[in-house]
Each structure stands twice: as C-alpha cells, then as structure tokens.
C-alpha cells in the first residue's frame, strides 16, 4: 500500500508541472480571481486505499459537477422515464453552453443533463416551485453524500454567475418557447446559478463519488440515499457525457465515469476495488473547459490502478 501511495504522489508531482498550460474560467469574473497554481487530490476506496494530496481541503465551486446530484434528485422525485422525456442522455459534440442543438436536434430537448440546457430543464423538474426550495432539495443531498453538513454556496460566485448569465438565460427562454421548460424561468435560473456556486473540497467530491460507486449507499451513515438503479444510470451518463465535448477522448484515455466543472474540479467514480471515489481540483482549464492537471492525474492514476471500465 505504501508503494502505491508513493506512486500516486509521484503522479501528483508530475501533474503540478502541467500548471501554467491552461487558463482559469474568467468569463465568470469571480472564478477569474481564483489562484491558478493549485492542485488537490483525494481518493476514497472500500479497499482502505485513501490518498490525500496537495490542496485537497481547499474549497472551490462545484459548477457543472452539481449537475450529477441535481440529476439524481430529479430522478428520485420524478422517475427516470419522466426525466428522460424532457432531457435525453446522448453525448454532444458541441460546447456545454451551445444553443444550436436545441433548435436543430432532438425535438428541442437538451441532449443530456450535464450540459447547461439539460441542467436547467432538470432544475425545472424538481417539484419545489421557488428557487429556495429547489436549491435546498439539491444541497441537502450534497451534504448527505459528502458527509458534510456545513456545505453551502459562495454568495460572491452566485452573484457573479447571475450577473453574467446571459447565455443561460437565452437557453432557458428558448426552451420555454418550445414547451420543454415549464415554470417560472427566473426562479429556475436563480436556483441553477446558486447550485453551481456551491462550495466543496476534493474530499467532499470523493465522498459523493463513493456513494455513487456504492449504488447510492452511504457506508459512513448506513443510509441508502437512492436506489441502485439510479446510481447505474448516473454512472452511465457520467461515462458518456460527463466531460463536455471531450467525453470520448476522456473515455479512451481515462475510462472512468466522471464529471467536470469550470471551477476546476473533476469527480470520478469506479466500481473496482470495492468501490472508489476521486475528487481532484486544479483551476486551470483546457479549451473544452476541463481541468488540465486534474485530467492528467486521473489518466495516470487510472492506468496505475487499472480502473478503466472499458
């Protein structure tokens, strides 16, 4: 085990050398203020293989990673068939905030719940009517999965998201015009912006991923948080769609169901080694919006431990 830990530590040092090659997500002004040279890694395994490196306790905003928990909440409330009638689970070759696919493909339905349009529709499916109710529904599950009751949102990031969210408003109002989005658009968007600004750490992400790996069961509390069927659906969609329009190459090179966010985090799941959850954070992104150093770490760790599902 010590040799394994040393090997992962060496990968961490190699990943740090990637810092400087990417760019933080400054199109959301508050994210542009994040210190770029950070790298954190946390891995939790049912085989007692736990590794904590670097900035693993540093808080950062979930951004698109929240879409995984949001998707779970929607299926719990509405059933998978009902959710999939509004948003499908197909990969996309377009960017995560693309408008064109809504008009040209898939009968105006978002291609998957992990692009912005899909997540906005998923928020609308939560039965709570107002923004606060929708937010609380999702953040409560985040806290239960992460074993951290203190998780909340960053108000500065939330306001920055809201003030610069014109593209997301365009997506939402277009979907409202086609009948895909139901409810008050501004309430839905407010909840969406607030959810993206939830702050977590690499350890929190690894705990969330570990619950998904264990079919919805939280070993620390003994709670079955959601059905195994939901976990299987979520792992599948993460593998197909979790890394935006780079999901294909990520599947080839890493082979782990994962979800990234433009805050610099990536959450990865493996059902090998009696279940395994990984959280990694490094805010410099590549052109697709995925953490550069984070992807390198995941690729090398996946190869080292033979974690690929393919």
* pLDDT for residue 18: 94
pLDDT tens readout for residues 168-197: 999 999 999 989 999 999 999 999 999 999
The residue ranges of the chain whose pLDDT is under 50 are none
pLDDT tens readout for residues 112-147: 999 999 999 999 999 998 999 999 999 999 999 999
Of 244, 259, 268, 291, which is the active-site residue? 244
Of 61, 64, 124, 247, which is the active-site residue? 64
d(CA 27, CA 163): 11
Domains of the chain and any CATH numbers: 2-62+199-305 (3.40.710.10), 64-196 (3.40.710.10)
* pLDDT for residue 2: 76
Listed in sequence order, the residues at least 6 apart from 183 whose beta carbon sits closer than 8 Å to its beta carbon are 124, 129
Of 42, 56, 153, 192, which is the active-site residue? 192
Q: Which long-range contacts (CB under 8 A, 24 or more apart) does 104-113 make?
A: 108/175, 108/178, 108/179, 108/180, 109/180, 110/175, 110/180, 111/87, 111/241, 112/87, 112/88, 112/237, 112/240, 112/241, 113/67, 113/70, 113/71, 113/74, 113/83, 113/87, 113/89, 113/237, 113/241
Nearest to 71 by CA among 165, 162, 138: 138
* pLDDT for residue 5: 84
Please confirm, yes or no, whether 173 is among the known catalytic residues.
no
* pLDDT for residue 94: 59
Of 262, 269, 280, 301, which is the active-site residue? 262
Of 18, 44, 67, 134, which is the active-site residue? 67
Please confirm, yes or no, whether 244 is among the known catalytic residues.
yes
Please confirm, yes or no, whether 192 is among the known catalytic residues.
yes
Residue 230 exposed, middle or buried by CB count within 10 Å (0-12, 13-18, 19+): buried
Please confirm, yes or no, whether 64 is among the known catalytic residues.
yes
Half-sphere exposure of 94 (CA within 13 A, CB side): 16
* pLDDT for residue 3: 77
The dihedral formed by the CA atoms of 310, 84, 67 and 161, expressed in degrees to the nearest 10:
140
What does pTM read for this prediction? 0.95
């Amino acid at each position: 085990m010590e040799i394994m830990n040393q090997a992962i530590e060496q990968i961490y040092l190699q990943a740090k050398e990637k810092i400087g090659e990417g760019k933080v997500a400054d199109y959301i002004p508050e994210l542009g203020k994040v210190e770029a040279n950070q790298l954190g890694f946390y891995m939790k395994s049912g085989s007692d293989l736990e590794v904590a490196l670097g900035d693993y306790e540093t808080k950062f905003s979930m951004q698109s990673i929240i879409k995984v928990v949001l998707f779970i909440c929607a299926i719990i409330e509405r059933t998978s068939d009902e959710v999939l009638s509004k948003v499908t689970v197909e990969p996309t070759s377009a960017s995560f905030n693309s408008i064109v696919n809504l008009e040209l493909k898939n009968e105006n339905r978002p291609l998957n719940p992990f692009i912005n349009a899909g997540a906005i529709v998923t928020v609308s499916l939560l039965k709570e009517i107002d923004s606060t109710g929708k937010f609380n529904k999702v953040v409560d599950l985040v806290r239960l999965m992460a074993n951290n009751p203190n998780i909340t949102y960053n108000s500065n990031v939330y306001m920055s998201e809201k003030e610069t969210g014109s593209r997301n408003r365009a997506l939402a109002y277009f979907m409202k015009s086609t009948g895909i989005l139901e409810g008050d658009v501004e309430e839905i968007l407010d909840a969406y912006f607030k959810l993206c600004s939830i702050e977590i750490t690499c350890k929190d992400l690894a705990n969330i991923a570990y619950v998904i790996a264990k079919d919805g069961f939280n070993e620390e509390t003994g709670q079955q948080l959601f059905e195994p069927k939901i976990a299987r659906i979520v792992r599948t969609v993460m593998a197909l769609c979790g890394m935006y329009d780079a999901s294909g190459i990520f599947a080839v090179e890493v082979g782990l169901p994962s979800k990234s966010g433009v805050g610099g985090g990536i959450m990865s799941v493996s059902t090998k080694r009696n279940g395994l959850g990984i959280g990694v954070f490094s805010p410099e992104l590549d052109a697709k919006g995925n953490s550069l150093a984070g992807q390198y770490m995941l690729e090398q760790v996946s190869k080292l431990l033979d974690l690929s599902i393919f």
